[in-house]
Chains A and B, each alone.
Chain A
Amino acid sequence: DGGITQSPKYLFRKEGQNVTLSCEQNLNHDAMYWYRQDPGQGLRLIYYSQIVNDFQKGDIAEGYSVSREKKESFPLTVTSAQKNPTAFYLCASSIAGAGGFYEQYFGPGTRLTVT
């Protein structure tokens, strides 16, 4: 988990509220990613960013939004439009490059519970 921090570790919200999850990295990586993990489904990509001020939708972007104003930071907002927001959210970063063979480094995760 070194080099990437996510806060808070546990987050509780009422249905209908937007919530923002923090992700910060000090690895000097250009690329950052957000995943959602649900039991038995592995990791699914929500959004990713290859460079500051640019980001792309992943496989399950609906109901989520991101920003990338700084290289170190890639916050994820879970909006009220997300139908099933309760999950474990993981942030990752990697070197960006044309090769596509750089591993990703993960933060410790945020467990979001919406009731």
Chain B
Amino acid sequence: AQSVAQPEDQVNVAEGNPLTVKCTYSVSGNPYLFWYVQYPNRGLQFLLKYITGDNLVKGSYGFEAEFNKSQTSFHLKKPSALVSDSALYFCAVRDRRRQTGANNLFFGTGTRLTVIP
């Protein structure tokens, strides 16, 4: 079985403060983990992914994520939030339920980030 959980529906942070959007996962085998961002009425944009290697992954727009195997977490972080970071953020894990070779993803339910000026 596999799952990915985003425990917070909403996160508010003041502009300039560090932000964290949480994600925990449950998979069999090695996890392939992804973060995406969605602006209103738009498609999803890829931010970063963890496949193997360093536990701290750097991505687009100054975002980074920390893979923690013991806590089965992959939290998204940014040192200093911008108002323009306000959006819906999705964590995803490779979906291993289907045929080998498929790059299917299983998505969390999303976390809405609001950065307050």
Contact = CB atoms under 8 A, between A and B. Distances in A.
A1 B42 contact: yes
B101 A96 contact: yes
Contacts of A111: 41
Interface stretch (A14-22, A38-46, A78-86): A38-46
Nearest to B110: A42
B109 A103 contact: no
Contact of A104 (B42, B96, B103, B109): B103
Contacts of B99: 50, 56
A42 B109 contact: yes
A95 interface: yes
Interface in B34-84: 34, 36, 41-46, 49, 51
A58 to B, nearest CB: 8
B90 A43 contact: yes
Interface string A86-111: 00001010111110111111111101
B101 A97 contact: yes
B101 A100 contact: yes
Contact of B43 (A50, A102, A109): A109
Nearest to A90: B43
Contacts of B9: 40
Contact of B100 (A6, A98, A101): A98
